[in-house]
Amino acid sequence: MQIIIAKCKEEFDRIAADTVSQQIKDKPNSVLGLATGSTPLGLYAQLVERNKRGEIDFSQITTFNMDEYKGLPKDHPQSYHYFMHKYLFDEINVRPENINIPNGEAADWAKECAEYEEKIRAAGGIDLQVLGIGHNGHIGFNEPGTPFEALTSLIELDKRTIKANSRFFDSIDQVPRQALSMGIKTIMQSRKLILMICGRDKAEIAYKAIKGPITPEVPASVLQLHPFITVLLDQDAASDL
């Protein structure tokens, strides 16, 4: 596990963007695993800028997002489809047919999850997965207690996740209670990972994920077992390390 502590938010975003840019330069047809949330917003802004300046090319890139709320239509402002298009996909030269996000409105969940796994396999697997972490240690929407062997599935969201994400909705009652998420095993099968953690409010969970016991109660702790993971923290998130 490589641990990098960025001096400031600019450096945090730049290091994350350098990691993704290098992956794209090394392998122009890379398969990228992508995350939503506040943490990667600066990364996506940098990737958009670099693409517009012609420094990186997404024309052969394939993407797989980790998760999507159950029941939200693609054009719902809080859906992860909407988020990804707004902050990244609509601004770069990725081909629409190469973008993959779980379908939150699928009629058959088991089929949607199995097909998502199959699509990742057919694309050759994920080369670089970008990850954030929840205050409860979740990665994707794999909440505490999710088995490490889990593949993409329908997840019951944890109370803490619903509360944290209610900041984006008019009221907590509007936050979906379930989501489709890549499994922990799916995430661990990625060739490389970058876990991004920022903010003082993430310091305790950062410590548990990086230095604590490896346990399904802290889903991100499984990442200690991955041979090619970079953990990128800002100084606030690293304050308990």
Inter-CA distances, 40 with 45, 88, 155, 156, 209, Å: 9, 10, 22, 24, 18
In the residue annotation, 55 being an active-site residue is answered as: no
The verdict on 219 binding ligand PGA (CB under 6 A) reads no
Residue 167: exposed, middle, or buried by beta-carbon count in 10 A (0-12, 13-18, 19+)? exposed
Q: Tell which one of 132, 183, 216, 219 touches ligand PGA (CB under 6 A).
A: 132
> For ligand PGA, what does the binding mask look like between residues 12 and 41, x meaning CB under 6 A?
-------------------------xxx--
Q: Which of residues 133-162 bind ligand PGA (CB under 6 A)?
A: 133-134, 138
The verdict on 125 binding ligand PGA (CB under 6 A) reads no
Angle (deg, nearest 10), helices 80-87 and 41-52 = 40
In the residue annotation, 29 being an active-site residue is answered as: no
In the residue annotation, 165 being an active-site residue is answered as: no
In the residue annotation, 67 being an active-site residue is answered as: yes
Strand partners, 62: 31
Helix residue spans in 65-221 (DSSP H)? 80-87, 109-122, 159-165, 184-188, 203-211
The verdict on 212 binding ligand PGA (CB under 6 A) reads no
Residue positions annotated with a catalytic role: 67, 136, 138, 143
**Residues in touch with ligand PGA (CB under 6 A):** 37-39, 132-134, 138
